[in-house]
Amino acid sequence: MHRPSLTLLTASLMLATGFVSAKDAPTTIPAPAVQTAEQLRDKAMHDDTAYKVVEGLTTEIGARLAGGVNDQRARDWMVAKFKALGFDKVYTEPVTFPLWVRRSEHGAIVAPFPQPLTLIALGYSAGTPKGGLTAEVVQFPTLDALKAADPASVKGKIVYIGERMQRHKDGMDYGRIGSPIRVQGPVIAQEKGAAGYLLRSAGTDANSRTPHTGVTGFMDPAKAIPAAALSNPDADQLERVLAYGKPVTVKLDLDCGIEGQYTGANVIGEITGRKYPDQVVAIGGHLDSWDPGTGAIDDGAGVAIAVGAAKLIHDLPQRPDRTIRVIAFANEEMGLWGGRAYADKHAADVSKFQLGSESDFGSGPVWRMSASVKPEARGAIEQIAKVLAPIGVSYDVKRPGGGGSDLSQMHGKGMAALSLTQDGTYYFDWHHTANDTLDKIDPKQLAQNVAVYAVFSYMAAEANGDFGSAPGAFAHDGAED
């Protein structure tokens, strides 16, 4: 950076224009930018760009299993969409990951009451031997009970955990119950010698015979065992059968597994900053989805929200001071592969990331904002909160901001980040199921999300000063996403 001699006059002028930010000067957002943000907010509430994006993506491409038949098609679609919307710069960055393939899955109770079970294989599950795997079921009420189990009680059996997620606005039971039982459970069962693993679907739908897939924590294919999720009614049925107290035998027939590696890509579109093009506000969602549905709420909605917000900023009479970067991440679902590749590639530039947040929790309205920023930027966050309050967003000063799923990885490297918490009351009814389809998206709620992302992105891009991104910053803020 070129630095002229710092007379008092030029120093104060530079501070006022955001050319430099002295260490302890408060970060502020100039009044004209606040006004423009209010206009963006009001316009976004009636803008249907985001809805058209998610409608197009889920109709023209549909399911987008990472490495699957639609992976390349989705990337091409995304590149074309960014270009058609007039983004200034469109490019991809490669992401390599293990290719997991699902071909078919069947399950049945063999004894004492023979009948089929509705289930779905989990990501990185091993396939069963030809002819299937038949074994006795051993039930545990919780993950902790499995952790405490004597391996002799598990060896050669199919472990089943039936703990149920309850409905919450913030979806807290996914992090507390659903995800650990699905991710860690199969690994613990394998380590104790289990032959297979079943769980009650990590979902809040009680009466839909639609199982929820999702990833396991199997990192080494040599140590993976067959693992699947029962629909909630099938889990109830299995538990009724187990309650008779007789040995229960189940047959699993899963044709799936890892087949080498695949290289996909993060797809990136930018609105180039007018004054500081190399400083970026990072927003986005993940382009991949699970395969039973069409990936509407997870995460076509997130991609659409970020694209819609950036497009509104693009349509302003002039570009914002800093760049707005929209990242459509590759393979979030099977372990944040796109987010981790992105953070590895850009960690050294973390100070250039003004602020970031990714949308990956469906399309329910944003009701809470929290931030991990330097103390001198709290005032700017309060300015953003003030613009968002009229559309139902409250600012929680005490909570950290994690940046969302893939961008949590950049936050981990030191990027200042927001959490924009959506209403997830119904999200886990449909998450990772065949019911993740466009009809679950309310266009008005989606538009509220676009307003939130447009406002914060624009205000952060126009701020005088930064939000404290630096290598290793926020390492101990306790953010969960």
Q: Which residue ranges make up the site for Zn ion (CB under 5 A)?
A: 298-299, 360
Taking CA atoms, 104 is separated from 128, 205, 292, 397, 476, in Å, by 11, 24, 12, 48, 43
Nearer residue to Zn ion within complex by CB, 298 or 376: 298
Nearer residue to Zn ion within complex by CB, 137 or 282: 282
The b-or-e profile of 342-378 (16+ CB within 10 A means b, else e) is bbeebbebbbbbbbbbbbbbbbbbbbbbbbbbbebbb
Residue with tokens 């679902």: 333
| Minimum gap (Å) between residue 251 Cβ and Zn ion | 32
Residues 42, 437: Cα–Cα separation, whole Å = 28
| Minimum gap (Å) between residue 289 Cβ and Zn ion | 8
| Minimum gap (Å) between residue 303 Cβ and Zn ion | 10
| Minimum gap (Å) between residue 439 Cβ and Zn ion | 18
Nearer residue to Zn ion within complex by CB, 291 or 360: 360
One-letter identity of residue 43: K
Nearer residue to Zn ion within complex by CB, 198 or 297: 297
Nearer residue to Zn ion within complex by CB, 173 or 299: 299
Token reading at 48:
């249907």
Nearer residue to Zn ion within complex by CB, 234 or 288: 288
Nearer residue to Zn ion within complex by CB, 127 or 339: 339
Using an 8 Å Cβ cutoff, are 175 and 165 in contact? no
| Minimum gap (Å) between residue 298 Cβ and Zn ion | 4
Using an 8 Å Cβ cutoff, are 294 and 300 in contact? yes
Q: Which residues contact 246 (CB under 8 A, 6 or more apart)?
A: 112
Closest CA relative to residue 230, chosen from 99, 112, 137, 113? 137
Using an 8 Å Cβ cutoff, are 202 and 232 in contact? no
Task: Find the length of the chain.
Answer: 481
Q: Count CA within 13 A, CB hemisphere, residue 419.
A: 23
| Minimum gap (Å) between residue 131 Cβ and Zn ion | 35
- Beta 89-111 vs 158-161: how paired, if at all? unpaired
| Minimum gap (Å) between residue 330 Cβ and Zn ion | 12
Residues 233, 206: Cα–Cα separation, whole Å = 7
Residue with tokens 């409905």: 167
Structural element, H or E, at residue 41: helix 31-44
Nearer residue to Zn ion within complex by CB, 299 or 429: 299
Nearer residue to Zn ion within complex by CB, 298 or 462: 298
Token reading at 58:
């889920």
| Minimum gap (Å) between residue 286 Cβ and Zn ion | 6
Residues 121, 127: Cα–Cα separation, whole Å = 9
| Minimum gap (Å) between residue 141 Cβ and Zn ion | 28
